Chains A and B, each alone.
Chain A
């Protein structure tokens, strides 16, 4: 039997600054811990809190000779017996019979081992007797014993010294789960399961109800309190996917702008990509991922790029660092230790380390959210074989971070600190595909960290300097950046493209971008003074000749919408615990496996982050549109039609769209206290139908699900639609599937025969392209995928790119006549949907929303190159460290000995292992409003029907089978000898 406990609590820890915590202390007396307290803004006394004030340490030495005691040093190591023998023989040689002496006994465990000295007490020692002692061949020298006094004096100073800490939690006080206790323990436990910074002061807040519901407004008020109290570090072991919760995101910025170092857990949604959580995905926050004790990335740790920047840009690298998050031991609820797993646990490890680090820095002015983050990422140890979107800068290294922080000078730095598109696997996905002329520019989104001040700016413009000896002039670079670096950070997006002259060239090109960051100097006596820092971003790319059109696949990112901000429901309706489509739908997030597969098949995959009017269709073999939620501009529809006439092929993986089901999957969200109605289905089928209607094609509003076999491959259709219309000369494959719409709406099961799911069509015009429709995207999507269909994608790309009709499909016995779609009306857009709020295409109008004017295509202004006759180092990574810190010269202790150990479990404690891909309670609180009345009603109905049955049967007594009575008795006797009783 497995007891599956999911955790309910949460914890927010903060390390606080200096103000005497008057309000808090008075509260300690007023509110004993067991009393009920409002869940927020109630600092709870912590056993770990110590009342440090600002102190400086004064150290003094003095020593004096101890009378009659002498240290006798020997030439080698001898046993106690031998030492005593030598001394007595030496003193005997002195001839003084009255000499009173004895060896001062040692009472330490080491006294059993041979030693090279002895302490001798000699009364009235004459110098001659000491000299004879020294004459002994085994005695090296004799010295008087000295007593050393060291005094430590604490003197109150005006400078801040010890960091204080706040932990927000308290679910433990009420629900008995104790995760707040655990996290607080990791940071500051003093006795069992020692934490990192036992002298820190904890401020603890509860941020969840017993039902694990939390509200943005609670965080706003708690963070205001943290700012007022001048807290130093804040640990937030929670987060969510909603990075568009502006009040919350703004408040986190405000918090770090007030010099609060924020450490947050990156999330437990791995190993899927595109699962980063807010606020850990913010530039000003230290986002922490989890590893196990073998230095493998923990399966649950969220990863992939940030999705804020989609569709036009590219995501930033997160997490920032990783640390132990699997089976970490910390304080138990009542006493002792326990182990826990999750990035919730990794976050306080870093928060504890940060606390400790902050306390070591003499000049506290230098510690700020940026400098701390710079020190952590510059010192982190890179894990081999793991890419940067999983490990960030690597594993936390406390000692090295200490060394860096103690020689730190305010400066700017970059994350990642270099761009080497050839380095695998660290620079995945950049290293997985070389660049070529005519391709979509490769974008690297670099974060600028500015340790010089909370605000900063980039002076002039970043300069692109290609290295001529290394063919740097074969690439063009465009740079865009934050106008103001606030708070402590900003972005620097580098777009790299191949120059026309290298269209058929193959090789490596290198150069660098120089950025100068300036911040107002606050300690400068001169008003208006500025601190500046110049950073170099080396760039190395691999260029290949432009591949043929047929090898090039274009992924449409522009028409993929996701949560946040809108409710775009999941593509697989069976996955009830994950109702939202929130992974970005990008080839480097939840379509990563598909991307890897296409790369392994030799295709070059590019991403279109702009309308369909913004690409040169003659360059591409196939346009891939998967699970699109967005509408289309009329210009796009016209252009696509023209492109396909001119030989571009189109593959569409659609998904379900059924207005009744959409109404059914609405839910009441406890967090926002409102009803959530989806704005599209899994995909926006009515919009897709507008796009493909010109070829006489359409998807239906049917909703199907089920297993089937296609060309000897097992397939699973997870909530997809069917093809409603298809040209009569096309190839259409149909399968028997379950009607999932009926199941969702009426809880009935019905199998529908011959559902058309796949259609292949060659357009009639001369040299025209091919169109493929498939009704479900789940088999190429990494999230909730059960069976992949990459083989099908291969076959379809063979068809679209090379016009090779796969015989397994064209001669399949599942092939049916193309549907004409007369029997059922095509799906219409859900009345009153709010898609226009999130759409880049629609805008609100009286009546129906109308398309906006077509936006201009993105235009990159290429930086003017300033060529250098310089040679780049072969390994870019090693040469990128913080200025004024040379770690190679610092002697480092053997890191092995600093590894935390997994201790054997104490008796009565549970064994520990991970729950991969954990399901978290309290994540989505839909159906809460609905289920309770439903349960009550059902229960009442059951009771009622029971009594009705009872009444009708009361007259005729039912017969009972008697022989069954004996069997259990026999069983009881048998089991009595087995004697196993549950001991839960």
Chain B
């Protein structure tokens, strides 16, 4: 019980969430300026910051409490919208502590309230001091960009079970990560692609190629890690940090990267047959890389401990001469550029040409 009280006191001691939260900073700042202007009109020449903050906080709470009591009066009378009389009731409630003319009258009319008369006098006497800044309407309400339905967009829903009046699915780039985006693109190639999309596709391909190279550098030192060359394996590896973003396992695959060498080649061949265009580039790389590593794989199979150094040596000698071949399978690219790690500019040109041919 005691601890609960302490915690509650601590919470109340800190700024109230209604008026002190981050989202209210703008309104509180405006209130500070307004309070400072009112103080200046009264005759003050300066203020302590803590005093101004307190006064602005009280100003805000005063407005809030007027609104609250006026809303209560309106709801009590069975109305949703408050009117003048509700506000006067609220003002009377707040002014009842200090008192106003006619507060003790039993038969007083709301219209004839002393509070209103005081306000009328105040408006008559007070100087006209407008607010120092132009205040825009806030909080700004963002317009909701509506996603059109399948019918409106003229697209066919990707499944028979999806009715056409439902909104379309979001663009894969907005939610999917690199490899899964490539999957999507390979499985459902859309006709039109914007410049930005092209650029993003290129970047993704470059990144995945780089990852692949790094992975082979890493995996070459480990036994049986060449399984990662497989299509899904690569996707898995890409998301080492976040296992939830990894591509799902196909049947027969294991999380553990120990597998026969034949499997990846078969898988990558299947993948190359299945998938057109950009994905093919990378799949083709897998196959050709496997060929280059065939000797290393044999060495790994035969020896265990000592072969590690051997594979390292093999790798170190082989890496500079890695050449990725593309163009395995059905697609017609026109050209089959070679991916040499040294020629980066040519790679980019080739990629652009390939992308253009796709379009």
Tell whether A and B belong to one assembly: no
Q: Which B residues fall within an 8 A CB radius of A?
A: none
